[in-house]
Amino acid sequence: MFDYLIVGAGFAGAVLAERLASKGGKKVLIIDKRNHIGGNTFDYYNPDGILIHKYGPHIFHTNSQDVFDYLGQFTTWRPYEHRVLASVDGMMVPIPINLNTINKLYGLNLSSDEVDSFLKSRAEVKSRIVTSEDVVVSKVGRDLYEKFFKGYTKKQWDMDASELDASVAARIPTRNNRDDRYFTDTYQAMPLHGYTKMFENMLGHPNIKVMTNVDYKEIEDEIPFKKMIYTGPVDYYFDYCYGKLPYRSIEFKFETYETETFQPTGTVNYPNEHPFTRITEFKYLTGQKNAKTSVVYEYPKAEGDPYYPVPRPENAELYKKYQALANETRNVYFTGRLATYKYYNMDQVVAQSLTLFKKILSQQNDHYVNGQKSQLIQAGIVGRD
């Protein structure tokens, strides 16, 4: 009998498997319907010996020392700060928009103060910031919005930025300095030997069994377990009883070129040309040396693996109905990007699962004495589960 069946071997599931096994002393079975662990962060060496990310580029960054230290138990880190250029008006300019972006694009030589006034003079005044369009035009005005955001967002989401929550475009800041890093988090690093290796280390505990190529619905009646942690799409769990939650998918096209480098930086975004949104060259991310180089082109699409929840009000409403069902489902915990329908980065998913682990631990230590809830933290004083 397993104490826990964990559905999904991505970050959400692997963190809980590791914690429950090594700190909770639980017997865990973690499964995935894919033929590998690591979820969307799965990486592997292609036939040319280059480490690539099967489900698109994954760059680790966090402000949480807890998350960084926790994962650091399972990998050595390689410091890496991601930089992105956007192809706009025939030029390659930094995105997020910064002082250099404006100066290069408009042939100016503004200082930080001057760029503030420049942007202020173009920004549209909005009484409420509701959509992704609002976020951008209220900061940088319509011209820059159209150059950098309008086309990219339409390709990525197949909808206008005015139809998407503000939180989507708010991921991309605007800077009046020359900082051209994509992220400014305190910790920015890649697992030295890749994500898959790190997951192998996380799941190596003797109390953890791993099974791939299996959908939980095929085995849940056959394998005995006490509780479940579910990290797949929440609507699938409930047989789409309220209808499908929209997710956006991507087709990844990989190419290997007989040249040492293909492009000037890790990622180049193409807001206005081509059907793909961006090209990422893996060697920048991994630091690998090779005479050849591999890149991935991202073509967003509606059908396919569910990669992105679509943040907009009606989807949040629909999710709430599933969330209510999830809350009522005894002995099943829902966590992760798909099961909680949140546009989360890796570190947020890790933090969410670490928090859930603490909650599970505290629940199993909750004890009722004459109807009064008391916390007996020392294992052995109260029976588990």
Q: Which does 86 bind (CB under 5 to 8 A by kind): ligand UDP, ligand FAD, none?
A: ligand UDP
Mark residues 349-378: x for contact with ligand FAD by CB under 6 A, - for none: x-----------------------------
Tokens 């990290």 -> residue: 231
- What phi, psi does 352 have (nearest 5°)? -60, -45
- What phi, psi does 4 have (nearest 5°)? -135, 135
Q: Are strands 278-281 and 225-230 parallel, antiparallel or unpaired?
A: unpaired
Q: Please name which of 333, 332, 334 lies closest in space to residue 342, comparing C-alpha atoms.
A: 334
* One of 24, 39, 246, 300 touching ligand FAD (CB under 6 A): 39
Is 248 one of the binding residues for ligand FAD (CB under 6 A)?
no
Q: Please name which of 135, 52, 145, 49 lies closest in space to residue 97, comparing C-alpha atoms.
A: 145
Residues 151-190 that bind ligand UDP (CB under 6 A): 152-153, 156, 168-169, 171-172
Is 71 one of the binding residues for ligand FAD (CB under 6 A)?
no
Omega before residue 96 within 30° of 0, cis: yes
Is 8 one of the binding residues for ligand FAD (CB under 6 A)?
yes
Half-sphere exposure of 96 (CA within 13 A, CB side): 21
Rounded least distance, CB 29 to ligand UDP, Å: 31
Q: How far is CA 22 from CA 16, 206, 331, in A?
A: 10, 9, 20
Q: Which does 250 bind (CB under 5 to 8 A by kind): ligand FAD, ligand UDP, none?
A: ligand FAD
Q: Which does 169 bind (CB under 5 to 8 A by kind): ligand FAD, ligand UDP, none?
A: ligand UDP
* One of 38, 194, 271, 311 touching ligand UDP (CB under 6 A): 271
Is 220 one of the binding residues for ligand FAD (CB under 6 A)?
no
Q: Please name which of 151, 97, 154, 155 lies closest in space to residue 272, comparing C-alpha atoms.
A: 151
CA dihedral 82, 87, 92, 97 (to 10 degrees): -60
Residue nearest to ligand UDP (CB): 152
Interface with ligand UDP by CB under 6 A: which residues? 86, 95, 148-149, 152-153, 156, 168-169, 171-172, 269, 271
Interface with ligand FAD by CB under 6 A: which residues? 7-13, 31-34, 39-41, 55-59, 215-216, 231-232, 250, 307, 336-338, 344-347, 349
